[in-house]
Chains A and B, each alone.
Chain A
Amino acid sequence: MSTVRRILNLFSRSKLEQEIDAEIRSHVEMRMADNMAAGMSPEQARRDALIRFGNRTVMRERIAAADAELAFDAVARDLRYAARQLRRSPAFTITALLTLTLGIGANVVVFSVLNALVLKPLDVPQPSGLYNVVHKAQGYDSQSYPDYLDFQRRNATFSDMAAYQIQNAGLTTGNAAYKCWYYRVSGNYFDMLGVQPAQGRLFHTSDEKGPNSAPYIVLSNDFWRTHFNSDPDIVGTTVDINKHPFTVIGVAPGAFHGTDVFLWPDFWMPIVDSPDDEGANFFSNRGMHNIWILGKLKPGVTPQQASDNLNFIARELARQYPASDDDLSARLVKPGLMGDQLGDPARSFLAGIMLLAFLVLLAACANLASLFAARTADRSRELTIRLAIGSSRWQVLRQLLTEAVLISVLGGALGTIFSTALLDALTGWQPFAEFPVHVAVSPDPKVYLVALLLAVGSGIVWGLVPVRQIWATNSAQVMKSGAAGTIVFRRLAFRDLLLGAQIMLCTLLVTSSFVALRGMQHSLHAPVGFRPQGVILAETDLHMGGHSDASSTLIQKRMLQEAGRIPGVTAVGIIDETPLGTGGSSTLVYRMGTTEFRASNSAFGAKYFSISPGYLEAAGTHLMTGRDFTWHDDAKASRVAIVNETFARAMFGNESALGLRFTMGDKVPNEIVGVVENGKYESLTESPWAAMFFPLDQNPDTDTSLVVRSQLPPGEIVPALHRVLAQIDPSLPFVFHSWPDALAFVLFPARVATASLGVMGLLAAMLAVTGVFGMAMYSVSKRIKEFGIRVALGAQPVRLMRSALGRPLLLLLSGSGAGLLLGAMASQLLAQIVYQATPRDPVVFAGVMTTMALLGFVATWIPAQRALRVHPAELLRQE
């Protein structure tokens, strides 16, 4: 028999069965003939012949089962049977499909994000063995250039080590000017990563011949396509970067987006160039931490060996340069998350969400398990008959499992299709106009594999629930008493536990989303140390217009004058970088009288800002005591500072800080002339930072954020501002936005957390509704006869309701209670991401309780109606 025929047999079952039938028939006839010849009556002869075969259907199955394709065939048969069963109960099938689509879809989305951001190696040609070298202290990730060179030269464990830095600049070509984000990278950067140019060439270590020796840039493929129209002759063209000429020497391949997961640069520039005029300071100052180190391990070297090696070097450096390096240490982290700044929050948040998504799927499984168990109970007659005619329990179980897995895989496929669409949309999304932030999370094969595993796994989990039922089935008992006989309503069934667990999970998720929502609401109204409402920001970097730090104050003064003259403007000020913007810088401060200026002798680290007179008023920052700066606080006057309350308290305790002095690494004393309220400087969840403000004239900076407070709508003030600023220097690119909009960046993590928790909570709520609904509906339909009799005997509707819905409601209540408790515990985790996330908030408590009560009401309304509308007469007629 050819293989082709065997396979064909699978699909034309009936043909094989017919042949088996014919063979058996011929056997029986021959036996009959012999029996009759031996003197039996025809009836006896036939009976004897048939008895020898036993059950003919079982016989046929056994013969067919002897087929070499036995397993495959049995699966095909089970699948066909399962499909038929599922078609026969569309309500169950659709509910199950929907539940699984949501449950698995949610997991696929979350896993893809987790995979793209945390699990997947960097998208470079040779990603293995790449690590960012950061400090041991969390959140302290950047290094100085001289330290980088020492690490690179002295280590024995890395095959190479590159440095890079993300910067922004104005790029002018012809008469178009763009604000760009780019990487300054060491010469070995491309070679270490194994990147090959798409056009022209890349730069190498040999191009580095001292400061500003290599005025070349390599464009990113995207930037080349969008801003240079894929110009094939781009190589050799000259562009201006912050007014300095640079030659385009090549274009990077389309798949290479730099070494950061989120921030994709527009071009790369050798680190020896510095269009920011940082000049010599950058190359020699060990205290200037502003680059990231990316290293590639030698083959066979473990990360532990490498970090031991680097820490040894760090200790050497600390001995050599105690002033700057005495706290130097090294730690290796997975690259791509801005040093590791985004590493910990991203990891813990994604792990948390993944856990929640998994809980949603578990809840979905619990939901389906109880539905399936109920369905199996309803089918107990069918199953018993199958057992009675000789199916093994294993066969019946396999059949049920096939049904469960079939549905799960279908649901998984649907879920994956929907989530792929969602993920593709997410990949194309750029959340911030002014940052080149990308969230490339398209699913890869690993994601599909996980989806399949989840689908099959969940199918098995909920398909196995009726096992006990099947094993406990006593055929004779069921045949006698009918289908309803096996269902015991008195004791707490396994199903009830499942439903209870499911409601608990649901409440947990609903609680989490409420906590996050409340936290979000708090963040929007939290005191941040300034009043963003009604303020328009105009941001630029004067470097882009070719101005230096020293000459920038003049231009800034003119900007303030011109902007202040616009009718309707009530206050203007300038700050170098707005708080809650892209980070801001911090430095160590020392008490007066410190003799040795090393990190361990410092008082604390403080954020510092340069502000113009009038900034505090424009920003709405409340001056507690002392005075604002004036234009007389200039380079010729003695150095002054305004500090915040945290600073004052940390440095001077309860003493009034006015007139007191402190110093920094430059050893020059600063006299405190004012104290302002505390604020938020980096993120909404940070613990209070010490902060200090210096007058622009004494601490000039080209970074300029013009803060304009006015009563005018943004639509009027922005064009007016644009006009006056363009008159000062038409080549300066400005970014205008309202201050609340600019805060989107710091609110982003909380927004994402709230949105994802909201979606999870919604999914869980839907599952809880279907779960409670299914359970209540089922219990009502099973007892409808009993209710009919009770109604006929004059039972009160209330009592009827109690017995119909008592159990689902009890489950709802206890499940919710447990879930709320769990939610309260889980919220401790949330507090790290969402500002002031606390479950001990009466609004959260009330919200969760109301939601669960509403869910319960929605889920039990229809079953209750059905129980109440029982017509005894109709019921009697049915039987």
Chain B
Amino acid sequence: MARNDLQGSLDLLVLKTLSQMGELHGYGIVLHIQRASDELLSVEEGSLYPALHRMEQSGWIRSEWKVTETNRKAKYYKLTTAGQKELLKAEKSFEQLIKGIRAILRYA
């Protein structure tokens, strides 16, 4: 359970980032999550890329090689319709998880 949920939360972070930012490359996703969470969360590169590939295979995101503002080639990821649905699902299940954990913390 633990493993799935951790993976689930990484998926959630990535999907949410992409839905807010539109199109982003892997490095951009790392930076965004770091910044947006006030440096509380840091995504490891070692987990991010396998996750991105898995989500791409599942059809939640699409990728495209583009040139960055600093003129570098980078692979940009974009949310698909399936990805948007998945995001809603993930948000819901995350909220339930939080609710559950809170409830337990309260009575523990």
Contacts and interface: CB of A to CB of B under 8 A. Distances in A.
A27 B70 CA distance: 13
B86 interface: no
Binding site secondary structure of chain B:
helix
A52 B53 contact: no
Given A52-B44, A53-B45, A59-B46, A23 B75 contact: yes
Nearest to A49: B45
B88 to A, nearest CB: 22
B57 interface: yes
B103 to A, nearest CB: 34
* Max count, chain A CB within 10 A of own CB: residue among B25, B45, B46, B70: B45
A66 B72 contact: no
Contacts of A23: 26, 49, 74-75
B47 to A, nearest CB: 9
Contacts of B58: 68
Contact of B26 (A6, A27, A54, A67): A27
Contact of A62 (B25, B46, B75): B46
Contact of A30 (B44, B46, B53, B68): B68
A26 B49 contact: no
Contact of B72 (A1, A29, A53, A64): A29
Interface string B41-71: 0001110011101101110000000001010
A30 B70 CA distance: 9
Q: Looking at A24, A27, A52, which has the most chain B CB atoms within 10 Å of its CB?
A: A27
A23 B77 CA distance: 12
Interface in B5-36: 25-27
A31 B27 CA distance: 7
A23 B74 CA distance: 6
B89 interface: no
Contacts of A67: 53, 57
B102 interface: no
A26 B57 contact: no
Contact of B74 (A26, A54, A68): A26
B99 interface: no
A33 interface: yes
B73 interface: yes
B57 A27 contact: no
B25 A26 contact: yes
Interface residues of B, number: 20
Contacts of B25: 26-27, 30
A24 B45 CA distance: 9
A606 interface: no
Interface string A684-725: 000000000000000000000000000000000000000000
A1 B53 CA distance: 11
A464 interface: no
Nearest to A61: B50
Contact of B45 (A27, A29, A64): A27
A479 interface: no
A62 B50 contact: yes
A30 B57 contact: no
A26 B26 CA distance: 9
Nearest to A23: B75
Which of A1, A26, A53, A59 has the largest number of chain B CB atoms within 10 A?
Answer: A26
A70 B68 CA distance: 31
B56 A52 contact: no
Given A52-B44, A53-B45, A68-B58, A26 B53 contact: no
B46 A54 contact: yes
A63 B70 CA distance: 26
A31 B49 CA distance: 15
Interface in A422-471: none
Given A6-B57, A26-B72, A62-B49, 20 more contacts: A1-B56, A1-B57, A23-B49, A26-B27, A26-B73, A26-B74, A27-B25, A27-B27, A27-B45, A30-B74, A52-B46, A54-B45, A59-B46, A63-B49, A64-B53, A66-B51, A66-B54, A67-B57, A68-B54, A68-B57
8 contacts: A22-B75, A23-B49, A26-B72, A27-B26, A27-B74, A30-B25, A52-B45, A62-B49
